[in-house]
Chains A and B, each alone.
Chain A
């Protein structure tokens, strides 16, 4: 029969030492081998002796005064950590805000198109896409949302009816101020 494996030696050692938490269990057949194999027994004795040595080596305890000092250090280190995102920058706020901003952009983009004569419409779109917009993707996006107004978006199920109003109603003063700033920036950018 083969000698005990490293796993089995650990199980046997912990069973012998009365390891309190989840000791390994050695199969009866392997226990029989262990009881009749001097090599395995010698290895087990050596392992147990080293483990005992290890258990007897306590940690050098710091001064009792250290612990309060340690707690204060942890507290100071947490204070020094950079703060996370502002509480109002949550996705629950940002998603409706983004939807509102997109709708405003869509409305603003669609208004001049209706006022222009049909012949100039295409030219205006091409001109806007080529000279003012930063990328081709933005031009495609502008074309896609060009005819989309709030009612159409609601009817298409893109947004739930009243979702934008509801989102705005739930904003705090700080959030409303930020929304105003975003919208004004967007209007200025589109008009320029």
Chain B
């Protein structure tokens, strides 16, 4: 998808810039005025981490791509309400987590079987057997994460893989920093229990 069309945010101050060169805040301003091209750039920039949040939640590609798509549609509809209180990525995570929580609460996660998972690491560097064991372990961890209670899962995902602060996670989940830390603690403990029962 090409984003060569140029938009001047403040033509009397700034030179005309291609959309792809604008920062997130400028892109949001342009997109909020109805520019689909600007929103396409936002999608292109943030689709991978948003997809990853969803994937960690449900542990399967089909649902994760549906959830990520839903998150971006909601973001488009709610763009005018985004006032830049947080980073765009944090706002998108918030939407993705809410979409996941809503969906997960009505539908039990379907996790991909360990055998079907693919890996793209260079197996020439390490022995094939070692790589396979590592991937099996990783798949077991992903399955265990997807089995955690919702808030523990959201906390673990946002803190461990997306490095959001406790406060940002508390804002997203509508809870306190203390509750976030407690959720994180219980998530790790539950993960340990689940993984401890695996061979």
- Bound complex: CA of A95 vs CA of B184, how far in Å? 51
Query: Is A68 an interface position by the 8 A CB rule?
Result: yes
Q: Number of A residues whose C-beta is below 8 Å from B?
A: 37
Query: Is A86 an interface position by the 8 A CB rule?
Result: no
- Bound complex: CA of A58 vs CA of B120, how far in Å? 10
- Bound complex: CA of A68 vs CA of B40, how far in Å? 11
- Bound complex: CA of A10 vs CA of B61, how far in Å? 31
B interface residue count range (under 10 / 10 to 19 / 20 to 34 / 35 or more): 35 or more
CB distance from B46 to the nearest CB of A (A): 11
- Bound complex: CA of A152 vs CA of B192, how far in Å? 78
Residue of A nearest to B138 (CB): A57
With contacts A21-B165, A59-B56, A74-B69 taken as known, whether A10 is within 8 angstroms of B145 at the C-beta atoms is: no
Residue from A50, A53, A59 in contact with B52 in the complex, judged by beta carbons closer than 8 Å: A59
CB distance from A47 to the nearest CB of B (A): 5
Over the window 129-163 of chain B, the binary record of Cβ atoms lying under 8 Å from chain A Cβ atoms (1 yes, 0 no) is 00000100111011001000000000010001101
> A81 — which chain B residues lie within 8 A by C-beta?
73, 76-77
Residue from B1, B145, B164 in contact with A21 in the complex, judged by beta carbons closer than 8 Å: B164
Query: Is A120 an interface position by the 8 A CB rule?
Result: no
Contact between chains at B138 and A58 (CB < 8 Å): yes
25 residue pairs of the A-B complex, CB under 8 angstroms, read A19-B163, A21-B165, A47-B185, A50-B188, A50-B189, A51-B160, A51-B188, A53-B141, A54-B156, A54-B160, A59-B52, A59-B142, A60-B118, A67-B48, A70-B43, A70-B68, A71-B40, A71-B44, A74-B69, A74-B73, A75-B40, A75-B43, A77-B73, A78-B36, A81-B76
A-B contact sample (6 more), CB < 8 A, given A53-B191, A70-B43? A20-B163, A21-B164, A49-B192, A55-B160, A70-B47, A77-B72
Q: Residues on A close to B: CB < 8 A?
A: 6-7, 9-11, 19-22, 24, 46-47, 49-51, 53-62, 66-68, 70-75, 77-78, 81
